[in-house]
């Protein structure tokens, strides 16, 4: 086991997303979850957004009033090093298998959490270059495609299956 699902989050669009104890996941995401701007968010390559609880704590330490679900993630993880996450990695989250597709670029939905949050979570040149050594790597989260749907449950183990497809 690499980590665990700390929280599963859904909303009727926008942020914050609210916790649920379990959720059915399919190729387009979490059942019961919606996007405020479906022309930007969602789709098969952005079916899920994962953010580590450790990244949320880093942001809280910088003074941002964030908490699990506040940044719009579907899955808040615990015990995964965001600096080790890469596009193409496949993980098993309980019964669900996902493949990381890209680091999430923050949108204006996060503005309510304070000036400077975009810079605190994302470095566009570093992400474009694939530079995981940047201090902000994946603080904004990672989008994932669903390879195998199923039920997500809080507390379920997260296991790295392979490094790339």
CB-CB contact of 71 with 111 (8 Å): no
Report the pLDDT value the prediction gives residue 164, as an integer from 0 to 100. Answer: 61
Q: Domain locations in the chain?
A: 3-159
Report the pLDDT value the prediction gives residue 1, as an integer from 0 to 100. Answer: 59
Q: Say how many C-beta atoms besides its own lie within 10 A of residue 32's C-beta.
A: 11
> What is the block-wise mean pLDDT of the chain (165 residues), using blocks of 10 residues?
92 91 95 73 88 98 97 96 96 96 90 91 94 95 97 97 74
The answer to whether the bond into 144 is cis (omega within 30° of 0) is no
Architecture of domain 3-159: Beta Barrel (2.40)
Assigned token pair, 90 = 């496949």
pTM: 0.93
């Amino acid at each position: 086991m690499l980590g665990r699902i700390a929280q599963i989050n859904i909303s009727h669009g926008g942020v914050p997303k609210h916790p649920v104890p379990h959720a059915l996941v399919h190729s387009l995401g979490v059942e019961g979850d919606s996007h405020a701007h479906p022309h930007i968010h969602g789709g098969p390559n952005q079916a899920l957004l994962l953010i580590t609880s450790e990244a949320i704590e880093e942001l809280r330490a910088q003074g941002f009033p964030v908490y699990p679900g506040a940044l719009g993630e579907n899955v808040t993880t615990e015990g995964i090093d965001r600096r080790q996450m890469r596009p193409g990695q496949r993980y098993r989250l309980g019964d669900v298998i996902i493949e990381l597709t890209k680091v999430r670029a923050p949108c204006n939905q996060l503005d309510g959490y304070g000036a400077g949050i975009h810079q605190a979570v994302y470095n566009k040149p570093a992400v474009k270059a694939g530079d995981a050594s940047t201090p902000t790597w994946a603080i904004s989260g990672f989008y994932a495609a669903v390879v195998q749907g199923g039920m997500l449950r809080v507390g379920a183990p997260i296991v790295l299956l392979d490094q790339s497809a």
